[in-house]
Amino acid sequence: MKVPLLDLKAQYATIKPEIDAAVMSVMESQYFILGPEVEKLEKSLAEYLGVKHACGVSSGTDALLIALMAIDIQPGDEVIVPTFSFFATAGVVARLNAVPVFVDVDPVTFNIDPADIEKKITSRTKAIVPVHLYGQSAAMDEIMAIAQKHSLAVIEDGAQAIGVQYKDGRKVGTIGTIGCYSFFPSKNLGCFGDGGLVVTNDDVLAERLHIMRVHGGKPKYYHKIIGGNFRIDALQAAVLNVKLPHLDGWSAKRRENAALYTKLFCEKGLAEDTGRCAFDLNNAVLLPKAVYQDSGVTNYHIFNQYVIRVQQRDELRKFLSDSGIGNEIYYPVPFHRQECFAYLHSVDAEFPISNAAAADTIAVPIYPELTPEQIGYVVNTIAQFINKK
Ligand SMILES: *Cc1c(COP(=O)(O)O)cnc(C)c1O
């Protein structure tokens, strides 16, 4: 049996007539840059997310970049980021000649560890960038409290987490100063190319974001500030306008798939249905939690990625690939170990959780159109690997 990590064709098949009509209508209009489809998308997304302003941009990476530019991050400013994330989270900071300051993560959620944030704050710190990794919320209450205490901006990287509710019902990305999302095809809401979004409840920042998206000119050709070409295409907006009403249904399917994984792994005696089972005699696979409850925190997981922890991860990875099962390592090298950040002279021992995660995590297929048979095959294959060790 073949189980790809992601099957975009399967999703396209379920909405093809609507998508094709939407794309065709943009082609008929020959209106490609911003315009009515983008305005419609921004309005729908602001409503869906429960936020005052939404501004479509060219990618999730550019969403982070324009957000940092909008809050006026300057060369030498320090910006706190988790060391365990997709490269863009730290890359955008360095591109502005600011200093990414790395922080370790929580061992269960892999999200930025608030206690470690406090230790890394200096007089040059300007912002914190929590990432809602894999589709579950970072500890926003704790992070916002730290930000308030030290007068820092909070730029949420919600690239993997559009639609995730925080414990108080607010959607992640709308809690901090500016929220950033990606519409890269593999995200829960993906377009047919690159696209992204920034959101904020701050009127002044919203105006700055909209102006910076078109090179900072307002009126056109008169520049008080410097921006860039950070525009989203009308074609991408048209695709997203069709997909948005399906988003919550798809995320619910991902959660159902995760629940089936948990059930099957537990039936095989390879995992326990608890939040914090450790590697002991009976537990060979550490599972993510759909609802993670610990010290009063409740997180709702939409499983952009389904990431498990195992011993002998690299051997398992090969075994899965040989068995026709798609898989990926998110992420094999934390930022503090990246060659391009050697100049920061990070101390490796300060990041034990991220270092362990880089060595023992692996993502297996979780996309909405997966069948129960495919999920069964993945669990059986992992069981076979563990039992023959
Ligand atoms: C995908 C992703 C990004 C970047 O989004 P792009 O649209 O690919 O530029 C940023 N941060 C995280 C955590 C991501 O997963």
**Other CB atoms within 10 Å distance of the CB of residue 305:** 21
**In degrees rounded to 5, what are phi and psi of residue 371?**
-95, 155
Of 85, 86, 198, best ligand 1 pocket probe by most atoms within 8 Å of the beta carbon: 86
pLDDT in tens, 39-59: 999 999 999 999 999 999 999
At which residue do the structure tokens 């920061």 appear? 344
The per-residue pLDDT for 68 is 98
3-class DSSP assignment, residue 69: helix
Beta bridge partners of 100: 79
List the domains of the chain with CATH numbers: 8-104+111-245 (3.40.640.10), 247-388 (3.90.1150.10)
Distance CA 39, CA 174 (A): 19
pLDDT in tens, 165-198: 988 889 999 999 999 999 999 999 999 999 999 9
Contacts of 40-45 spanning 24+ positions with Cβ under 8 A: 40/237, 40/241, 41/232, 41/237, 41/240, 41/241, 41/244, 42/197, 44/241, 44/244, 45/197, 45/199, 45/244
- C-alpha angle 235/67/112, rounded to 5°? 110
**In degrees rounded to 5, what are phi and psi of residue 128?**
-120, 135
Distance CA 265, CA 364 (A): 13
Beta bridge partners of 33: 233
**Other CB atoms within 10 Å distance of the CB of residue 341:** 18
The per-residue pLDDT for 298 is 54
The protein residue whose alpha carbon is closest to atom 6 in ligand 1 is 60
What residues in the chain have per-residue pLDDT under 50? Answer: 275-282, 294-297
Of 57, 61, 131, 155, best ligand 1 pocket probe by most atoms within 8 Å of the beta carbon: 61
Atom of ligand 1 nearest to the CA of 88: 10
Angle between helices 372-387 and 247-267 (to 10 degrees): 40
- Do residues 138 and 111 touch, judged by C-beta distance below 8 A? yes
- 89 pocket-lining for ligand 1 (C-beta < 6 Å): yes
Atom of ligand 1 nearest to the CA of 132: 13
The per-residue pLDDT for 185 is 98
CA distances from 72 to 145, 147, 209, 233, 249 (A): 22, 16, 11, 26, 38
Among 140, 163, 135, CA closest to 307: 135
- 236 pocket-lining for ligand 1 (C-beta < 6 Å): no
The per-residue pLDDT for 266 is 86
- 196 pocket-lining for ligand 1 (C-beta < 6 Å): yes
- C-alpha angle 16/48/71, rounded to 5°? 115
- 173 pocket-lining for ligand 1 (C-beta < 6 Å): no
- Do residues 79 and 93 touch, judged by C-beta distance below 8 A? yes
